[in-house]
Homo-oligomer: A and B are copies of this chain.
């Protein structure tokens, strides 16, 4: 049975595994360095739909369908669906996934949602509540821009700290069986150090990332060197530098094994994304595409996947409020642990 370590980490004893996964993206993601890891790249931002919001629902549909089909599962074989996105009232998930007939538990963790949904899916499997559970999330550049910032037609200029919301989705199906094992989870605590600039999400999320990572190392009594890759969600360039600075104060150095999904998804030299990619779909598609494939190829054995979310809305920012952040962490491993270590 799962064992609680410290304030917010859980060690999984049955080690639920990621049985299958899929990543979906659009044109810009298809031009980036991780293009070959995507299961589906659409030619434009509409995905055959009439609006960007419907397109975002379609992204989630395609990701779930992709993961189902790669695993050889019917929707009836999935016990619970954990999903969420950035759109107001999370309509990317509810409209995109409404026809699958799977018990639906909606989540909201902003860009941390892929880690949050993986946490839930893994725990449900670990505790015998689900034989299989799916974790899905998405973001869409156009639906996010017009909701959070300006109408696209306005052509607002983006400051250097701003990030590019990925038009992408990722889905992972967790269950009992063979696959990348989910071995630890850490649920984040909200942190708010007073950042009020809605064009600088990396800075707003870095304190939460530092807090969760510090908690995880403490709770598990492990060190950065125990992991091949420490992967943050979408801190981008600005947030990454701040994370390193904050961790330095705790005497934790991760720079030789750290990467950030927002810095991986696009070619920042050629693709004009400023501080990097962002959005729930950024970390979801990088994890469910490139990273899980690379783990299967044994490029990485132990990965810490920590997605970060800025829990703001335009209304709160307009009212002068600062931006709270949260970061959830999942420890993934290709290793088959010894019996003495745990009961996997």
Contact = CB atoms under 8 A, between A and B. Distances in A.
A301 interface: no
Interface string A111-147: 0000010011001101111100000000000000001
A105 interface: yes
* Residue from the set A80, A98, A128 with the largest chain B CB neighbour count within 10 Å: A98
Given A2-B129, A89-B313, A313-B89, A109 B98 contact: no
Given A86-B89, A319-B53, A94 B190 contact: yes
Contacts of A324: 94-95, 98
Given A91-B312, A127-B2, A311-B89, A54 B319 contact: yes
Interface in A199-258: none
Copies in the complex: 2
B109 A106 contact: yes
B127 A88 contact: no
A270 B30 CA distance: 60
A34 interface: no
Interface of A: 1-2, 4, 7-8, 10, 50-51, 53-54, 79-80, 84, 86-91, 94-95, 97-98, 101-110, 116, 119-120, 123-124, 126-130, 147, 187-190, 192, 311-316, 319, 321, 324, 326, 328
Contacts of A316: 53, 91, 95
* Residue from the set A79, A94, A98, A107 with the largest chain B CB neighbour count within 10 Å: A94
Contacts of A312: 89, 91, 94
Given A103-B187, A123-B129, 12 more contacts: A4-B130, A7-B103, A53-B319, A84-B108, A87-B313, A88-B88, A91-B313, A94-B311, A98-B324, A104-B189, A107-B107, A127-B127
